[in-house]
Structure 1
Amino acid sequence: MKNQLSLLLLLIFLAISCSQKEESLSEKPLSEQQFEFEIYDSLVVDYLGNLTLMDQSPDGKHFLLIDQNTDSILVTDPSGKTIYSYKITGEGPEKMEGNRTGVAKFLDNSTFLIPSSRALYQYSLAGELIKSFPPDFEGMSQLVIPSSTSHTRMGDQVITLMKGRYDKLGSSGLEYQAQSRQLEIFDFQTGDFSPIVPFPKESKFSSSTLEFGLIDHYPAFTVRDDSLYLIFRNEPKLFIYSKDQWDTPASIKPIPLPKFIEREISQKDAEGFNVRDFFYGSIGGIWALENQNFLISYLSGLTNEESDEAIAAAGSDFNKIFEEGEKKNSGGYVLFNGNQVSPVIIKSEQLGNINSIYSQEEIWFSPDFEKVENDYSVIYKTRLISR
């Protein structure tokens, strides 16, 4: 009996100790916590190519993938068995017009929506065109990033990045900054597109005297419940909007990245494109997680001296400029809680870029195609863990 009592007291002591330890970890500043993407599962597909995961169906029974090199779409089951394989680009009545401007997302368990520069397109799992949703203006291709998330669902509406409504204003400049809206919202019930989100007055891009370029204010955005979260590429601020209140952000959160090179407006080459534009700080993606946390992808950017060195080292080889710049750039994925950011999250060498996120326990990565060579395709399933 005494032994049982002693064991019970020991278990209570250990439980209290563990609880105190967990509490102390949660109270530790985010800026001092180190996280890691832990691989614990994968989707293996008998396919040779650069496959990335666009989405999985709400019931988890189908995975929607695309070959970045050929634009071939694959639909698989959870075991990786290919059910359908086809292309929806090209010529023909069932094909998508314009350039694909982002990845596809499931609308329900049997259909998906894919964006182009001309319209939103709804397809069946088998690749049959169900319906197209063109806007009331001629869509345009401006700084297209096919691997990005350029549309997201909010109830019976879709928030999307579709350019062309303000073509008379150009894609940048003072008139564009004053009069344009950055996103479109599509309503399934009415079939209408409406422009939303002017540059907030708290953003440098709302300036009436300082002119910025298209690449500076390219947006990344995500939705959670009834809120829209928006970031511009060269401005470390999170703008949060409540549903149907698109003119003014409900709140604004500065993102205290340890190093982030913002464009000095005196460096703006008003006459056109400058290679230097690609080497300023950039925020490439944002995902809303549990407990008001966000996962952010960013690069710190290069100083003027670092940029000049990268350009000089590349010589006349334009593609090599980016290789040289990558050697000097820093950044990666970080957590942001509205006040602090974590150190860059550790990821193993075989992990490339994030494809899809459903929670902190389900983050899907494509492989680093430069470091992983297989005669099959694999998508890694990871979760965030604290080290």
Structure 2
Amino acid sequence: MKHLFQIFGLLVILFSCNSKSENPNLIADYHFEIKDSIQVDYLGNLSVFDFEPESGFYLGRNNSTEEHLLFDDQGKIHNRFIIQKDGPDAVSWVQGLGFLDGKITVMDSNKGILQFSNEGEIANRIELPEDYFFINGLNFPAARFGNELMYIRPERDGMDWSNLGELFKRVYQNPILEVYNPETGIIRNTMNFPPRTTYTDGNYYHWMFPSLIQVSDSEWLLYLMAERKYYVYKKVGDQLIYEKTVDLKINDAVNIQGGPIENLEVMYEGNRFNIFGKIEQIYSREQDILVVYTKGVDEEIVKQYDPENIVEWMTFINSIPRYMAVLDKNHQMLQKDIPVPLGIDFTSVCNSKGEIIVLKNQEYFGMEEDFTTFYKMNQVK
């Protein structure tokens, strides 16, 4: 295992040394380093969703069994439990998972915000005003916004499933976030849908999977599934106000193909082989902002693979290159198109040392181990 780790680290450095940009305006040369690894004595489909700096615990979940784990940097499992689907503490559908105020927190599809003890018992319930519906999963459960809580806005005022075109027209125009005051029970919206997005051309592009990244108490970033740009919002009073768009300007990327919003099936059928370039993760660190993205794959290449052949298709998917961009805290590009080694799956977690937590893809390496390995990746000049 030690030799494999050393070889993997060497590959990372070799990849980065070959990634010097020809753009004379870029002012730095970055490379990757694998600083360490976390070996968790756990057999299963384990991923990591959040990091709690005071305890030093990572929050992991088996996406197949919904078993949840708390483990540390040494890989020691401190707590494990399965969220109940029956009984008085049953959870309907976990929409978002993470830490809030140091507690394991989920956004439930019906029961609002639920907080758990480390032993898996519900310790706190924050009920939201009723008649809400989340179209899809969230990248976080909820966040503090002064004395209020904010989260990805659910749909309200009824859902007309007979006219999905009109539903998504509304989704592509409405604010991103809902804010709830637990003391007054009042809800309101903030973070207006950003201007000049892919989603504003009148076509259908799936659910946007909006992802929110906090940079500071006054600044938040938003990115959407179909794009290779992100949006900067600043806190002004009790609102998050759009400030600017940061476009990565990846010129050789494949764009998403939309379809007529009046006939969603046309888009699904016509774009089976549209693997488009997109942002996959953004990390806000003390000194910089890191963006992980793909450029997509030309449709003629994609058509050479059979999605019905799971082994063949996943081998192809795992071979798609990923890249890193580095920006300063003023959102000025320092370097982009830095290749990322294959065989790792990026999580959304960056710990308090600025180390990105990535999962070793055992399927890619063609091995089955009785433990799960996470690498700590850092990027330095």
TM-score interval, normalised by the smaller of the two chains: 0.7 to 0.9
Are the counterparts in 2 of residues 302 and 328 from structure 1 also a CA contact under 8 Å?
A: no
Q: Shift in Å at residue 300 of structure 1?
A: 1.7
Partner residue, 2:137: 144
Name the aligned partner's letter for residue 34 of structure 2: I
Q: Specify whether residues 329 and 374 from structure 1 end up closer, same or farther in structure 2 by C-alpha distance, changes over 3 A only.
A: closer
Q: TM-score with structure 2 length normalisation?
A: 0.76
SS in 1 for 2:204: coil
Alpha-carbon separation, structure 2, partners of 1:84 and 1:327: 31
- 31, 34, 50: which is aligned to 1:35? 31
1:289 and 2:253 correspond: no
For 2:199, give the aligned amino acid. F
Partner Cα distance (2:319, 2:250) in 1:
17
Instruction: Report the counterpart of residue 12 of structure 1 in structure 2.
Output: none
| Equivalent residue for 1:72, pick from 57, 67, 72 | 67
Q: Distance in 2 between matches of 1:247 and 1:172?
A: 28
**1:44 maps to 2:35:** no
**Alignment partner, residue 336 of structure 1:** 327
In the other structure, the counterpart of 2:220 is 228
Change in CA separation of 1:266 and 1:40 when aligned onto 2, cut-off 3 Å: closer
Match of 1:352 in 2: 345
SS of equivalent to 2:170: helix
**Is the Cα–Cα contact under 8 Å of residues 255 and 336 in structure 1 kept in the other structure?**
no
Q: What residue number does 2:151 align with? A: 160
Query: 1:81 aligned to 2:76?
Result: yes
Pick one of 372, 377, 383 that aligns with 2:378. 383
Distance 1:60 1:228, change over 3 A: same
State whether structure 2 residue 195 is matched by structure 1 residue 201: yes
Maintained 8 Å contact 1:220/1:284: no
Deviation at 1:378, TM superposition (A): 2.7
| Whole-angstrom CA distance in 2 between matches of 1:267 and 1:259 | 25
- Provide, for residues 269-297 of structure 1, a one-character-per-residue CA deviation record: whole Å limited to 9, x for no partner: 82425152662332232222234x32222
- How far apart, in 1, do the equivalents of 2:27 and 2:142 lie? 31
CA contact (8 A) 2:277 2:293 kept: yes
| 1:383 Cα deviation from its structure 2 partner | 1.6
Q: Give the alignment of 1:1-387 within 5 angstroms.
A: 29-30=25-26, 33-36=29-32, 38-97=33-92, 99-108=93-102, 111-118=103-110, 119-144=112-137, 148-149=139-140, 151-165=142-156, 167-168=158-159, 173=166, 175-177=169-171, 179-190=173-184, 192-207=186-201, 210-215=202-207, 217-225=208-216, 226-243=218-235, 244=237, 246=239, 248-265=241-258, 270-272=263-265, 274=268, 276=271, 279-291=275-287, 293-307=288-302, 309-310=303-304, 313-314=305-306, 317=308, 319=310, 322-323=313-314, 326=317, 329-337=320-328, 338-340=331-333, 342-348=335-341, 351-358=344-351, 361-370=354-363, 371=365, 373-386=368-381
Spell out, residue by residue over 1:172-192, the C-alpha distance to the aligned partner (whole angstroms, 9 max, x if none). Answer: 546415652222234455455
Structure 2 CA distance for aligned equivalents of residues 366 and 151 of structure 1: 25
Please give the secondary structure, in 2, of the residue aligned with 1:95. Answer: coil
Percent identity, please.
18
Task: Return closer, same or farther for 1:91/1:289 CA change in 2, 3 Å cut-off.
Answer: same
Structure 1 residue 354 displacement after superposition: 2.6
1:157 shift after superposition:
4.2
Q: What code does the residue aligned with 1:194 have?
A: R
Deviates more, 1:72-81 or 1:340-349: 340-349
What is the deviation of 1:329? Answer: 4.4
Partners of 1:362 and 1:283 in 2: CA distance? 19
Residues 174-213 of structure 1: CA deviation (Å, up to 9, x unaligned): 6415652222234455455433233233324234xx1223
Asked if structure 2 preserves the Cα contact closer than 8 Å seen for 1:298 and 1:333, the reply is: yes
Identify if the C-alpha distance between structure 1 residues 335 and 72 changes in structure 2 by more than 3 Å, giving closer, same or farther.
Answer: same
Secondary structure of the corresponding residue to residue 53 of structure 1: strand
The answer to whether the 8 A contact 1:279-1:325 is kept is: no
Tell me, in whole angstroms, the C-alpha distance in 2 between the residues paired with 1:353 and 1:60: 23
Q: CA contact under 8 A between 1:187 and 1:193: conserved in structure 2?
A: yes
Gaps of 5+ in 1: 1-26
For 2:239 and 2:373, the matched residues in 1 are separated by 40
Where does structure 2 lack aligned partners over 5 or more consecutive residues? 1-22
Structure 1 residue 303: Cα displacement = 3.7
State whether residues 52 and 379 of structure 1, in contact with CA within 8 Å, keep that contact through their aligned partners in structure 2.
no
1:290/1:360 contact within 8 Å kept: no
Query: Hey, what's the Cα distance between the residues in 2 that align with 1:233 and 1:222?
Result: 14
Compared CA separation, residues 284 and 138, structure 1 to 2 (3 A): farther
Shift of 1:318: 6.7
More strand by share: 2
- Determine the C-alpha separation between the residues in 2 that align with 1:378 and 1:328: 20
